[in-house]
A and B are shown apart, each in its own frame.
Chain A
Amino acid sequence: MEIQTMTTAELALHGSHHAPPKGLMRWLTTTNHKDIGTMYLVFSLVMFFIGGIMILLVRAELFQPGMQIMRPELFNQLIGVHALVMIFMALMPAATGFANWMIPLMIGAPDMALPRLNNWSFWLLPPAAALLLMPFALALFGVGSGAIATGWTFYAPLSVQDGMGLDFAILAIHLLGVSSVMGSINIIVTIFNLRAPGMTFMKLPLFAWGWLITAFMLVAAIPVLAGAVTMLLTDRHFGTHFFNAGGGGDPILFQHLFWFFGHPEVYIVLFPVWGMTPHILSAFARKPVYGYRAQVYAFWVIGVLSVAVWGHHIMTSGMSTGALLYFMYSTMSISLPLSVLFFCWIATLWRGAMTFEAPMLFALGMIVLFGIGGLTGLVLADAAADAQYHHSYFVVAHFHYTLFAGGIMGIMAGVYFWLPKMTGHMIDETLAKWHFWLTAVAFNVTFLPQFFLGLAGMPRRIPDYALQFTEFNMVSSIGAFILGAAQLLFLTVVVKCIRGGPPAPAKVWDGAEGLEWTVPSPPPHHTFQTRPVVGQ
């Protein structure tokens, strides 16, 4: 094929006549994948702190028995909105931000395939956040009773009873869903059509592979959630009885629909992290990724299994013995492809020449702590023992080991890994290392006691508790406040890196491989207008 080439001067000229508009209009109208990626990441960071402040209020209330700082109504709102904010507005946009920034750079594409759709995908998020959070403000002015108070799971009939905060949440979910599906379609189309010449699917970087599976899962699962919450909306306002036994409906139908989305959602959040982990391990072990093919196949197997195991979230709802056994064994079988990933990660480290910069520390911390989340998941799969763990703090601890350690700490590894590429400045390693060690220790101080609380019989989502749970709750609250404070260090490192610092070379980390490390740091506004050719 014909290869175009441009001199540096020509490129600069090109850049100048395409110079983006200044100020707010630049960000409102941009179709540039790097700008949109940046907006996703900034949005995610802001929402991460908003969701964090909410849960610190909750942990303050739970510091000791008795009702001290809030009423149960507000408590119920904070726990649910914390979850919705963290999952839909912190974790998912962070992953999408990286997809926007890195996938075109990694596959040698000039931009995403559908740039205007990309702009719209992002700009649906701020209105969604406003809708979800507005009821808190409205309640201050005496309008309505506050935000959604049912937990993030919307279980009917509690959600049929709830105030108008729930309608706001449903509309927010719709906007988020539209945004996610459009973003996913964009990523699928980009990966299928814009790969550099020579980059076959089995040469696709694992981060792009992880995101491709996430995108397919989003397209499959989000419409089910959208349908479920729309049925809820019509039950609330138009007299339908989808979830009302009195009218021939079934409350458990809602749980099936919700978790048909909800379980893939866990992997939707984690696949981008599992995709970036081998890049980081390989860079800092100075050794090629181990078992590339095995990891790709494991991704596919987990993606397919993820839509077939949802019942393990509702094992106490009174399913038949056959259904319990099916969901138990199918859930256990997820440990098999996951073990392949763990094996490949450790084998990538094995006999390397490791150094331990902040991205590597976060990746290793993620592997160990996510290991605890995975193993407790294996125990939770047992339908008989699950009768003890279900609805208890054991589950709360379990999913924070998967979603905070596996999700957020993985994202932080990615931030420290790629931020120098994006800004052109190296990060402050000392502060970033402090951030890692404070986060890892405080995380365990927060969540390890919650396993024991759950075993002792403390249910989730209670604003006040029996005296026997006091000590572990105090420890957990102290851990949570240190964990929250440690994230201010994260903010400091990120802001410092954006504002300045030692210049970063094109290849920021000496062991890193891939097309993204062939462009300058920071990359020019437009990259790969000349398509690179991937060798044999």
Chain B
Amino acid sequence: MSVGRATSILLGGLAVFGPAPAQATLTWNLPTPATPLALDTLHVHNTFMAITLAIFFVVFAIMIYSIVNHRKSRNHAPASFTGPGTAAQIFWTLIPFFILVFIDFIVMGIPAYHSVVVMQDTRTDADMVVKVTGSQWKWQYEYPEEGIKFVSSLATPQAQLDGQAAKGEHYLREVDNPLVLPVGKKVRILLTSTDVIHTWWVPQFGTKRDAIPGFIRETWATIVQPGIYRGQCAELCGKGHGFMPVVVQAVTEPEYRQWVAQKKAEQAAQAAGAQRTWPRDELMKHGQEIYGKICIVCHQPNGQGIPGTFPALAGSKLVNGPFLDAAGRLVKDGHLDRVMNGKPGTAMQAFKATLSDSDIAAVVTFERNSFGNKMGDMVQPAQVKALR
């Protein structure tokens, strides 16, 4: 094969593998990088793809040449050699081998080394920390320096999944509360999980890291441009694995400060809400919202669960039993205990880690008075707060 042809294949390969616009259909390459890390990954990927395409075409061009010419129908007489015979032949058979050694460890190996070192360096000059906690099937985001903490879950209505409503533009990749980050800051992202392994992935950030229960893993991102970046959980984590999007809203520094102030005020109001006594209607209404976001996935819209997998709430002994004993302590394996502390080894997690006092109070009240359950009692946020 001529040098000219090899070059044209290389260039052709590069043209095919140019960066693709994000969110467009029929993209042929990694999405447009949003961080220096993703840009680096794209370069590495393009280089390697060009090299492997060149190897592929050169090697199989030789094979196809042989297939076309060395065939019985062309009366080609078969040779009988079984290996390199002369010193010169041995030399020529070793050449491709050493070209591959060079490609593996020099042409590909050196840039890969640098990329790995950069990818792993989460700490140098980090400006801020965000803690990401995966739970079946939502993400919790925490800003330790600001004292902000919230849960982010899928916002696509069930009707769109079932084909009863038209699918929106960001079907399955939209959330109620996106992670908000400032641009131009190196964000150190700490990852963990409360139940099974999840993987936090935003393709445009060029990073992907597992969230492992009981351990902290980390990665980093410095977002260059403001915008909304979408991804999703990448490790099979149960039935809701496909419905656990990651949405990051990157904003300028002043906008970020404004958002932080607003979020803090919201959380203060929520904390105050936990102190007052909620009327029954308000608990039921808020409880229904929380149920629709969190519990409905397993226990189903009608509270019937899925036989054999997820228990029914309708008519359940646990739901229709006491939740506090005479001394005001949690009844072990009672309704409130189960919601706050979960059931180890099952998908029922300890919701006290992710839900606020008022959320828990409201959803327990709702469950005790819905689906045909008629307990008539209420749980107040202040009670939950005291039991934490």
* Chain A residues proximal to chain B, CB less than 8 Å: 65-68, 71-73, 76, 139, 142-145, 149-151, 155, 157-158, 160-161, 163, 236, 244-246, 250-252, 285-294, 316-318, 321, 324-325, 328-329, 332-333, 335-336, 339-340, 342-343, 346-347, 349-356, 364, 367-368, 371-372, 375-376, 378-379, 382-385, 387-388, 390-392, 452, 455-457, 459-468, 470-472
Contact = CB atoms under 8 A, between A and B. Distances in A.
A276 B255 CA distance: 65
9 contacts: A73-B239, A317-B217, A318-B218, A371-B59, A383-B116, A387-B207, A390-B208, A455-B27, A459-B201
The 10 A-B pairs with the shortest beta carbon distances in the complex, nearest first, are A245-B214, A384-B115, A462-B242, A457-B203, A318-B217, A391-B234, A375-B52, A351-B79, A459-B234, A145-B309
B316 to A, nearest CB: 18
Interface stretch (B168-176, B282-290, B368-376): B168-176
B62 A346 contact: yes
Interface string B163-199: 1000101111100000000000000000100011101
A378 B76 CA distance: 36
B68 to A, nearest CB: 10
Given A336-B100, A391-B201, A251 B214 contact: yes
Given A142-B307, A318-B215, A339-B97, A76 B236 contact: yes
A463 B237 CA distance: 12
Contacts of A287: 78-80
B7 interface: no
A398 to B, nearest CB: 12
B319 to A, nearest CB: 21
Given A142-B307, A388-B45, A472 B26 contact: yes
A325 B346 CA distance: 37
B1 interface: no
Contact of B23 (A383, A391, A468): A468
Nearest to A334: B104
Nearest to A350: B66
Given A157-B195, A161-B238, A349-B70, A66 B161 contact: yes
A466 B113 CA distance: 34
Contact of B112 (A328, A342, A349, A391): A328
Contact of B209 (A67, A318, A392): A318
A203 to B, nearest CB: 13
Nearest to A462: B242
A471 B25 contact: yes
B327 interface: no
A424 B239 CA distance: 51
B276 interface: no
B162 interface: yes
A466 B172 contact: yes
B196 A158 contact: yes
A375 B49 CA distance: 9
A66 B160 contact: yes
Q: Which of A286, A336, A459 has the most CB of B within 10 A?
A: A459
A41 B217 CA distance: 46
Given A158-B197, A466-B173, 15 more contacts: A73-B306, A245-B212, A245-B213, A246-B344, A287-B78, A290-B82, A292-B82, A339-B100, A346-B59, A346-B62, A349-B63, A351-B81, A353-B71, A354-B66, A459-B234
Interface of B: 20, 23-31, 40-41, 44-45, 48-49, 52, 55-56, 59-60, 62-63, 66-67, 70-73, 76-83, 93, 96-97, 100-101, 104-105, 108-109, 112-113, 115-120, 160-163, 167, 169-173, 191, 195-197, 199, 201, 203, 206-210, 212-215, 217-218, 230-243, 306-309, 344-347
A238 to B, nearest CB: 12
A452 to B, nearest CB: 5
B104 A332 contact: yes
Contact of B82 (A288, A335, A376, A384): A288
Contacts of B27: 452, 455-456, 468
A349 B104 contact: no
A382 B48 contact: yes
A335 B97 CA distance: 10
A383 B112 contact: yes
Contact of A354 (B72, B119, B240): B72
A343 B56 contact: no
A316 B209 contact: yes
Contact of A155 (B31, B100, B118, B197): B197
B49 A352 contact: no
Contacts of B77: 353
Contact of A384 (B60, B104, B119, B197): B119
A72 to B, nearest CB: 4
Nearest to B230: A466
Contacts of B49: 379
A333 B104 contact: yes
Given A72-B240, A459-B234, A144 B30 contact: no
Contacts of A236: 345
Contacts of B120: 321, 324
A161 B41 contact: no
A285 B78 contact: yes
A316 B208 contact: yes
Given A145-B309, A292-B82, A355-B71, A65 B97 contact: no
